Structure 1
Amino acid sequence: MICMNVISRQFFGPSIGFHSEVAKFAVVISTFMGISYAARKGRHISMSAIYDTVPWRIRKAMAILIPLVTALILFALTYVSFEYVVNEYERGTTTAYLGMPTYLMYLFIPLGFFMGGIQFVRNLFVNIVNKEVYIGTDALDYNDNKPEDRHIDDQMQV
């Protein structure tokens, strides 16, 4: 939609009026619905400089602590963003060109936060139940995670 608007402006003069509204809807929906998918597949952004260098036991502890904290934050953001959606609904604001209620777009924000929080809780339980380290419900840790490596890490700590 954004590319079509650029082409339209360049070759035909006027801009497509509703392009920014459609692009905004697409970005909000894909961003916030993607939180849950990224958490499940272990594709979320992570600062792994410390995580990658610590022994297996510490990585395992971090694989339990990080999803717990992240889930709590996402659930708090769910609450705050839901209040914002309710506020938008009560105000009755609509988009300029399409005339759609803005709360319909913003509804995907708390939904995405909530679904992401559920995925991080699942990641937490997967790491508690299994001996391996998981970075997502469907993704094992990308570091060498073989049982013999754990013994080497354990011996090095002694």
Structure 2
Amino acid sequence: MSKLPSNSDTDYAVVYPSSSPGVLGWLDLWIGRVEAFMLGAGVLLMATNTVANVVGRFVFQHSLFFTEEVNRILIVLITFAGLSYAARHGRHIRMSALYDALPQSWRKVLMIIMCLVTALVMSALAYFSTRYILSIAGSGRVLPALQVPVYWIYIWVPIGLGVTAIQYAMTAWQNLLSDDIYLSTDVKEAHADTVEEASL
């Protein structure tokens, strides 16, 4: 696992330091903590729920009636928390054949444009998903087993998309502030030009 610039040798996945300055760094720090908590709690709850259902089915001959619905909620949570987590750590798939052929100055400009456009798209998706959730909430539909409103399943969609938009906007800002090219607020681009310059 890659390390971030730090005075200590502590893994960033544990303490979530941020190389961004001021309020931007504080926001990045807390977003990272919330994302990691949501992902960790979601996976653990899903595993516990599934194992408990298996034990109930084969040992006590009774399945847990709410297992499927709880897992549906957790899958949505993990998916959209993971979306922003991947953006924070620069882990999203990139089509970079043309991008890699450009000189650093052009790559930097293109990276800023890509981050801003992605932030706008994520914001638009968050807006439309919020409207959709409000329409579901207005219908009064509830889950058959849990008897909780159906929109609870989808509540994490606009949250995840919104946080992802923030991550890309912060990455664009980080690229504007720095001479280096950043894939996220703390992940620098690993490019052939950079490797050659470092070896000289």
Same fold (TM over 0.5): yes
CA distance in 2, matches of 1:114, 1:145: 34
SS in 1 for 2:183: strand
Letter paired with 2:142:
T
SS in 2 for 1:38: helix
Alignment correspondent of 1:135 = 183
Contact 2:112 2:176 in 1 (8 A): yes
1:96 pairs with one of 136, 144, 157: 144
1:18 pairs with one of 66, 72, 77: 66
Asked whether 1:56 is paired with 2:140, we answer no
Asked whether 1:126 is paired with 2:177, we answer no
User: Per chain length, whose mean CA-contact separation is higher, i.e. which structure has more relative contact order (CA < 8 Å, sep 6+)?
Assistant: 1
CA distance in 2, matches of 1:68, 1:7: 48
Change (3 A) 1:47 1:148: closer
Structure 2: give runs of 5+ residues left out of the alignment. Answer: 1-48
Letter paired with 2:116:
L
> Shift of residue 145 of structure 1?
5.6
Change (3 A) 1:129 1:6: same
CA distance in 2, matches of 1:36, 1:132: 22
Write the deviation string for residues 37-86 of structure 1: whole angstroms up to 9, x where unpaired: 22221112222333333322222122111111100101100110000111
In the alignment of these two chains, the number of paired residues is: 150
TM-score, with length taken from structure 2: 0.65
TM-score, with length taken from structure 1: 0.80
Write the deviation string for residues 3-36 of structure 1: whole angstroms up to 9, x where unpaired: 6656766787765432221111111111112222
Alignment correspondent of 2:3 = none
CA distance in 2, matches of 1:8, 1:52: 54
Alignment correspondent of 1:79 = 127
Write the deviation string for residues 92-122 of structure 1: whole angstroms up to 9, x where unpaired: 1111111121222211111111111111110
Letter paired with 2:160:
G
- Root-mean-square deviation (CA, aligned residues, Å) is 2.5
* Greater C-alpha Rg: 1
CA distance in 2, matches of 1:42, 1:29: 20
Percent identical among aligned pairs is 36
